[in-house]
Amino acid sequence: MVAAGPPVLAGNPIIQTIYTADPAPFVHEGTVYLYTSHDEDELVNNFFTMKDWVCFTSRDMVNWTHHGAVASLRSFDWAAPEISGWGGFENGAWAPQAIERDGKWYLYCPLHGRGIGVLVADGPFGPFRDPLGKPLIAGNHIDPTVFIDDDGQAYLYWGNPKCWYVKLNEDMISYDTSIGEEGLVVLDMTVEQFGARTKEDEKRPTSFEEGPWLYKRKDLYYLFFAGGPIPEHIAYSTGPSAEGPWSYGGVVMPTQGGSFTNHPGVIDFKGRTYLFYHNAALPGGGGFKRSVCVDELRFKDDGSVVQMDMTEEGPEPVAVLDPYERVEAETIAWTGGVETASAGENRIVVSDIDDGDLIRVRNVGFGDRNPGKCSVSVASEGPGAVIEVRLGGKDAEPVAEIEVGATGGLDEWKTFSDEVTGVKGVHDIFFTFRVPEGGGFRFDCWKFH
């Protein structure tokens, strides 16, 4: 369980209900789909303990909706359990990336020590299936990044300690074998391409460590990566094409944040560019319990990247959330105390709600409609709990106090409401919870009318 975190005015880390790492954002039809790896609360052998891949979405860059695990190691039948020292079948779900093409979604997944697999689905949340029954890239390869160029050619880069790529075929599950060594191309790991390493290492002559990320801006291609030595920083190189040749550009983000790894993910969204990364900022965090963050990325006129630091504030909202449509309770900008849990197929709810916990939802636009009530859908073991709805701050006077009655159990859902008056304009909403001992409940969604 992730304990209560820093002050509610913080925007980073963007997910507080579980530990997340290795962010892989993708923009599709006005929504950011954020796929991440998932650090478990309990470590095996005090090392990376990672079993599945999870997904979150946002339309405003501040409120993130948790969609749960979309795939796991068990999505691959060839993921042999006899992996000494790694927890076998139940461990090794490292940094993924997803992309959509022609209505299909492809999720590229490194299984530590077993290769890079690919899963296919008809939608961003699955169900994903393994079309190959074997690794797409066999061997001890990690950290895939997938990119489709303007001419339709797709690339898969990956690597540690070297950087590799293949040219994917149009089916996205096979690659051109006529180049490189049976299709696998390894880049020249030179100082000119990836910068000089500050610590001598025979296996790694440059600052490239792992976690490549391909991105294009105007006519310039960028290869962001986690740079070494450990603890890692984020750096970048640029080139005239997706195949390079690459020229080292410098450091994007110095070593910060308490995690000895980092992992870049870069997207354009609503006219701005964002860098996703991870750190160890949440309570209990560390090198094996990481948390994803995001900040705006800026460029100079010549295309070079402006060096930046990690922030607690995160980016500003780029859209207004509509409270007159059903809003999932797990759409959260910041929370103190609650967790999320599965409540059946494709359904995630807020759980583990204790007295004094809160949820903050940012930039909610009421307009001039002046709603008459606020409704919530909950499942409760018993009566007595109250959901307080506050505007602007956790200590503001409640505009609604919704009494939660008994529903018949934590899997039986009912709607409860309270009247509201004088609610107009744009506000942050704070849901605060009064929960008597033994009065546990789960929170599914909310709406103003």
The total of structural domains in the chain comes to 2
Model-level pTM? Answer: 0.96
Would 304 be classed as within a structural domain? no
CA 348 – CA 342 distance, rounded (Å) = 5
**For position 399, which CATH number holds?**
2.60.120.260
Q: What is the pLDDT of residues 387-427, one digit of tens each?
A: 999 999 999 999 999 999 999 999 999 999 999 988 999 99
- For the cut 90, the answer to whether the pLDDT of residue 7 exceeds it is no
Residue 72: which region, alpha, beta or left (left: phi > 0; alpha: psi -120 to 50)?
beta
Q: Is residue 14 part of a domain?
A: no
Residue 107 maps to a domain: yes
Same domain, 106 and 243: yes
Query: Do residues 279 and 363 share a domain?
Result: no
Please check whether residues 362 and 218 belong to one and the same domain: no
Query: What is the domain-level CATH number for residue 270?
Result: 2.115.10.20
- pLDDT on residue 84: 39
**Residue numbers of the domain that contains 443:** 327-448
pLDDT (tens digit per residue) in 336-390: 889 999 998 789 999 999 999 999 999 999 999 889 999 999 999 989 999 999 9
pLDDT at 262 over 90: yes
Report percent pLDDT > 70 for the chain: 96
User: Does 124 lie in the same domain as 51?
Assistant: yes
Written as six digits, the tokens of 248 are 């080292």
357 and 250 belong to one structural domain: no
Mean pLDDT value of segment 24-40: 98
Range in 93-97, 103-107, 333-337 the model is least confident about: 333-337
Residues 248 and 377 in one domain: no
Claim to verify: residue 114 and residue 177 sit in the same structural domain: yes
Does residue 59 share a domain with residue 199?
yes
- Residue at 319 is within a domain: no
Rounded to 10 degrees, what is the CA torsion of 157, 27, 260, 227? 40
- Confidence band, pLDDT 50/70/90 cuts, at residue 1: low
Q: What is the pLDDT averaged over residues 185-203?
A: 93
Digit-coded pLDDT (tens) for 310-325: 999 999 999 999 999 9
| Residue 305 lies inside a defined structural domain of this protein | no
280-283 LR contacts (CB < 8 Å, sep 24+): 281/5, 281/6, 281/12, 281/13, 281/257, 281/312, 282/2, 282/5, 282/13, 282/16, 282/19, 283/2, 283/3, 283/4, 283/5
The mean pLDDT value of the chain amounts to 94
More confident residue, 304 or 84: 304
Q: In terms of domains, do 85 and 176 share one? A: yes
Question: Quick check: 443 and 413 in contact, CB under 8 A?
Answer: no
Strand, helix or coil at 159?
coil
User: How confident is the model over 29-44, as a mean pLDDT?
Assistant: 97
Whole-number pLDDT of residue 8: 61
Cα–chain-centroid distance for residue 156? 20
Are 349 and 416 in the same domain? yes
Average pLDDT over residues 178-196: 96
Last residue of one domain, picked from the residues 273, 296, 319 = 296
Predicted pLDDT at 439: 80
Q: Are 264 and 238 contacting, i.e. CB atoms less than 8 angstroms apart?
A: no
